[in-house]
Structure 1
Amino acid sequence: MTDPRGPTVGIEPADTMVLFRTAVKQICNRHGYHATFMCRPRIPNVMSSGWHLHQSLVSRKDSANVFMTSEPTGLSKLGKHYMAGLLEHARASAVFSTPTINGYKRYRSYSLAPDRAIWGRDNRGVMIRVLGGPDDKATRLENRIGEPAANPYLYMASQILAGLNGIDRQLDPGPSADTPYETKANLLPTSLREAVFALRDDPFFREALGEKFVDYYVFIKNAEIERFQSTITEWEQREYFEMF
């Protein structure tokens, strides 16, 4: 995608992810196996799966990575503004990056998964990890918030909108976090319901994506949550059946 103000958004096309997931499931099925992109399946000793989205901006004028800098910080001012936009809108965009009930069971402290909107350089517990160094053409941001079941079109669109809003407003991401699970910052939603509420009440995405789209997306996600809440889980059966 291109930004009319100049840079080109350098991210992998969303249809590639859709094709990949479909191909993997079909090929495995033909060989008698089932492939799943479920974030946290109920399988003993299996870790959660995430979808880390790497992002950079490239100038249409000379194809230069505009996140790159010669400064020791490793990220240009424009890159910091973009990153600040991702952090600013992290809670409201979580429903696009993590759209399932199961996906929020990945956000646990000290699990190499983010639980709050912070950034760092070489830290796998933060939400956004800055990769690259001075004059590194591969300088980019790694957003570690997503899950494999995310709709790639909505996930990427929400990131682009949030990042460009950070540039427009020249937002400051603040200092990097050396202790990601102790640093004071806005906590990410801990459930799909909380994420839906965050999107519903967010004026930025209501304007950027349109009132009708946001209301419809909130409606179908609430319907998904209600189906889950009406189901008796094995945990409830074990916890309450014999006790009461």
Structure 2
Amino acid sequence: MLSTPFIERHQLWSPAQRDAADEVIAQVRERDLRQVRISWGDQHGILRGKTLEVDHFVSVMKNGKDFQTATLIFDTTNNPVVPPFGANALGDPRMTGLPDGVLVPDPGTFTILPWLDRTGWILSNLHYRTGERVPFDTRGVLQAQLDALEGDGYGYVAGVELEFYVTRLVDPKLSFEDSGHPPTPPEVMAVSHGFQYLTENRGDEIDGILSILRDNVVALGLPLSTVEDEWGPGQCEFTFEPLPGLGAADCTILVRSAIKQLCRRHGYHATFMSRPALANAFSSGWHLHQSLSSAQEVNCFAGADGELLSDTAKHYMGGLLEHAFASSVLTNPTINGYKRFRPDSFAPDRVAWAEENRGAMIRVAGARGDANTDLENRVGEPAANPYLYLASQIAAGRDGLRRQVDPGPSADEPYLVDAPTLPHSLEAAIEHFSDSALFRREFGDAFVDYLSMIKRHEVSRFHAAVTDWEQREYFEVY
């Protein structure tokens, strides 16, 4: 426990957050909640945290909650990337010995989890005990970019479209023999046949679980727009109304966790893995619609006088394209995500933009004279850390604005245009990110070196593993 009030001592809340905190505590009492989950999005965009008794939660709202910084040294399957207690192991001497950090809850994120009995939920940021933000806290990375963008005179608006698979759980593989590091994946079966795309009948076949997901997502207060039947067997898409930047990222990290929890509770398994190793599976993506707003909340991307895009939109898009390689670790952070970049697949395979063309990396969604015109980046995988995905876009777009980068001509045939192809592997993407002067300037050397180290460790484990392909290729013939 902290010895003195943490938040009050360091003044880490805004006046609006202080007011919201009082309302949260009042709501907890009025709703007679029995517990509250305090959550933090780690480096992979996975929620970690603790479940607090109500009286303790009220104290935590004032003082913060001690939390293990050891979680920062793990790759995707909780394999330690560095010796746990080495000096300056993560490039920040404050991390030596992996001391406790402090989770500072954000009162504006409080909600009630409708699938649990009288249980609240709140997001937090990770700080050192001194009050300094831990530089590896990805929500803080996004907040810093939003603050910088606001200093440039803009707000950021994002619309999220998430694709994922719902499968029926056959065998969760819970034996001790299956509890490896990582564990054996569950055995699943399809919930419906696919390849009818947006048909009402296919969606109706799995309405039982989709209605559960829909009702709970709406009960969370998230601005769900559509529930859609996608291409593969049991592949679905949820889309959301536009939200301000931090709200869009918070929405994404919560809805992914909610969908996985709800599916598991009802005998299903949901995955946001981009290209699961399932027969006839089709890759899933995360399409991110984005625009900038003025102080008067006017869309700064809409063109005028017959133009498709404003100069602001063109330069912003120029930045997205120019930094697409360096951004790839943030938009596609898994080895699996790069298997999605295939020609004629509704996923991009090169760095190009086009008007209303779903084969391009950047699709201009809208028309001349349309006040709601935005840029849809189709490059992301649904497993991406939402804070880093959005932060990469803002940093790249701001650089495009600052330098007035020309995006070049529209690619009417995105899979045939003479344009650089996207990185073919996470290994290649890491080097572009690590060498990026932009991200070192915007995110800091410590963060770039840290994330590059985490991802290199993941790649090294992959190369050390003997794959099914190798076994088939060599075991008998040699």
Structure-1 residue corresponding to 2:250: 15
Task: Considering fraction of residues, name the structure with more strand.
Answer: 2
* Cα RMSD after superposing both structures: 1.0
Among 171, 177, 184, the residue aligned to 2:411: 177
Name structure 2 gaps, 5 residues minimum: 1-145, 159-242
Identity, % of aligned positions: 55
Whole-Å separation in 2 of the counterparts to 1:132 and 1:71: 15
Q: Which moved more, 1:128-137 or 1:163-172?
A: 128-137
Whole-Å separation in 1 of the counterparts to 2:400 and 2:268: 44
Among 55, 60, 64, the residue aligned to 2:290: 55
Whole-Å separation in 2 of the counterparts to 1:136 and 1:55: 15
Among 144, 149, 153, the residue aligned to 1:6: 153
8 Å CA contact 1:72, 1:133 repeated in 2: no
Whole-Å separation in 1 of the counterparts to 2:250 and 2:297: 23
CA deviations on 1:111-150 (whole Å, 9 max, x unpaired) are 1111111000121111000011223121100000000000
Bigger Cα Rg: 2
Whole-Å separation in 2 of the counterparts to 1:94 and 1:116: 12
CA deviations on 1:52-93 (whole Å, 9 max, x unpaired) are 110001111x21111112233311111000000000000000
Whole-Å separation in 2 of the counterparts to 1:88 and 1:135: 27
Counterpart mapping for 1:37-56 below 5 A: 37-56=272-291
8 Å CA contact 2:356, 2:366 repeated in 1: no
Aligned residues: 243
Q: Could you say which structure has the greater relative contact order, defined with CA pairs below 8 angstroms and 6 or more residues apart?
A: 1
Name structure 1 gaps, 5 residues minimum: none
Structure-1 residue corresponding to 2:311: 77
Structure-2 residue corresponding to 1:29: 264
Whole-Å separation in 1 of the counterparts to 2:345 and 2:367: 26
Are residue 144 (structure 1) and residue 378 (structure 2) matched?
yes
1:232 Cα shift? 0.8
CA deviations on 1:146-173 (whole Å, 9 max, x unpaired) are 0000000011001001001101100100
Task: Tell me the secondary structure at the aligned position of residue 56 of structure 1.
Answer: strand
Whole-Å separation in 2 of the counterparts to 1:96 and 1:172: 23
Are residue 205 (structure 1) and residue 352 (structure 2) matched?
no
Structure-2 residue corresponding to 1:91: 325
8 Å CA contact 2:301, 2:373 repeated in 1: yes
Q: Which moved more, 1:197-206 or 1:17-26?
A: 197-206
Aligned AA (1:4): G
Aligned AA (2:258): A
Q: Which moved more, 1:32-41 or 1:176-185?
A: 176-185
Whole-Å separation in 2 of the counterparts to 1:208 and 1:193: 22
Aligned AA (1:56): S
Aligned AA (1:221): K
Are residue 229 (structure 1) and residue 463 (structure 2) matched?
yes
Return structure 1 stretches of 4+ with deviation > 2 angstroms.
70-73
Are residue 195 (structure 1) and residue 429 (structure 2) matched?
yes
